[in-house]
Structure 1
């Protein structure tokens, strides 16, 4: 039995690899051809492909030019004010008050001993101090030098004594350089050559004068704000700005211009939201200069003088319209009730014309009576 061998089929381009995927396109009369696989392409191996701004084709027959869809520019945050980064509060070196008292007493004792040595100490003082007979050496160079040393020691001892109080701090400086902050209380000794600046670090309340503001609709307002704040960094508050209280006042005024304030009579939730927004803005502006703001609350909100008259007229007109609507409603109800009772009880029989006439007469009569009763 013979077997027929079929010769191998020569390889074709189709059999060498997978068949190429057909590219599907989206196409209509208003757009260009876009491959579908490009719209949903998410292949991390190939990397991101920079794409040009999408072009929206013009509609046929309208003459409209192609438009570019550009992403909206993100608003850049407003940079915070910058202060010297090296300027930060640090504790100053001070000594207990006993050291200053001891140094001053030693200086006074040294002056007394020098006077006894020079023979210028009064006899009564010699007897009171139980000193031996005066030497009587006279005032020479050595005596004057001893006087200078003892006097300088006494001046440094007593001149450096200071009393620290609760809620108060001292910012110390030497020849224009910051040397530290003293927050201790009680008697202490501070170098008398240092310049002292007293700073109030207690929790403070400041009630502003009427400031310009606006609501969400742009209506001009006058706002009185109550600010609760304190000095957190004495070095920046004293040396970072010329006057930190004036700086805080300007921050509050600027925040009232940027943040919308609710009109008088607004709901409590809206008022609380405006208060929180004001507090965040003022706290962010005051933080670089060492001020800590806890609350900025509008305690009195009123319309600006140029707006108050118009708002008053508008409110009166609204009240008048509301009063007229209520009067008309009551008159219509009264007329309807009167006509219904007359017809239901069979007192009168009215056709359409007579009913309209009766309604008209009753309406005029009721409106006249209500007008006479109104003040």
Structure 2
């Protein structure tokens, strides 16, 4: 069921017309007699019922009109409106709203338990679908958003082993787009447009958080050591090349090996080294 516009009249105009007709029918009731008096009574009853046709539509709001269970349209015109008094009028907000899920515990693609939460910004774009296609569209948005978030968290790892793979922690923009598309696919039937969906909380579950932190620290230490060793090897290579170029000393293979060992210890060691003066002869 798709939304279409309902026919309604200006409430201000009817506010001027109905009281005037009601007063005229009341005067006629007092002046007339016989069958005409019954007509005047019937007119007063109908005019009194007509006052129930007034309703107010605020900005970014619409009124879904039904006649005995049949959808007759949605009124998007703001202000005081008047329609058939037998219409039921259900107000639907078209304003932008946001929903924040609770912290969900989900196993990621690698099987690690993680805690994840998201913020979803959404609005109703089709009032007929929002009212008639689902039972409670606000509750529907909440439940389906959490279901989409669970599906996304279980489809990708918290951390990827390869930089080319998508992970929840490292690929923020990609994960945001995937989450928005997943939620939108679930909410299309409810006449809801998802404007934005972002992860607001992401962490390992408490039972494995300390172990994962130690693993991350160990990985960082290994990477730092790797860069340190690469830099130290380059410096040793440069030192040997400059000594040979300047022809300052002549080193045999054993002396070169000792020099390389000493330089690597100095450059890669965690603690300050103690200098040792060698008084031997260099060959």
Structure number with the higher helix fraction is 2
**1:135 matched residue in structure 2:** none
CA distance in 2, matches of 1:292, 1:164: 20
CA drift of 1:198 comes to 0.3
Partner of 2:128: 235
Instruction: Give the corresponding residue for 2:18.
Output: 103
Which structure is higher in RCO with an 8 Å CA cutoff and minimum separation 6? 2
Alignment map for 1:1-375 (pairs within 5 Å): 87-97=1-11, 98-99=13-14, 101-112=16-27, 114=29, 148-149=41-42, 151-202=44-95, 204-210=96-102, 212=104, 217=110, 219=112, 220=114, 222-232=116-126, 234-259=127-152, 260=155, 262-266=167-171, 268=173, 271=174, 274-289=175-190, 291-300=191-200, 302-306=202-206, 308-338=209-239, 350-368=251-269, 371-372=271-272
Q: What SS is found at the alignment partner of 2:84?
A: coil
Distance 1:182-1:149 versus aligned 2 partners, 3 A rule: same
Structure 1 unpaired stretches of 5+: 1-86, 119-139
- By how many angstroms is 1:142 displaced? 8.8
Q: Secondary structure at the match of 2:271?
A: helix
Counterpart-to-counterpart distance in 1, 2:172 and 2:149: 19
Distance 1:235 1:364, change over 3 A: closer
Q: Residues 105 and 154 of structure 1 are in contact (CA less than 8 Å); yes or no, is this contact kept in structure 2?
A: no
After TM superposition, the score normalised by the length of structure 2 is 0.68
Task: Give the number of aligned pairs.
Answer: 257
Task: Mark the CA change 1:285 to 1:304 in structure 2 (over 3 Å): closer, same or farther.
Answer: same
- SS of 1:106's partner is helix
SS in 2 for 1:371: coil
Which has the larger Rg?
1
Q: Following the alignment from structure 1 to structure 2, what is the Cα–Cα distance between the partners of residues 334 and 280? A: 51
Distance 1:326 1:276 in 2: 34
Q: State the shift of 1:235 in Å.
A: 2.8
Q: CA deviation at 1:108?
A: 2.6
Contact 2:116 2:199 in 1 (8 A): no
Match of 2:164 in 1: none
Tell me, yes or no, if the aligned pair for 1:104 and 1:157 is still in contact at 8 Å: no
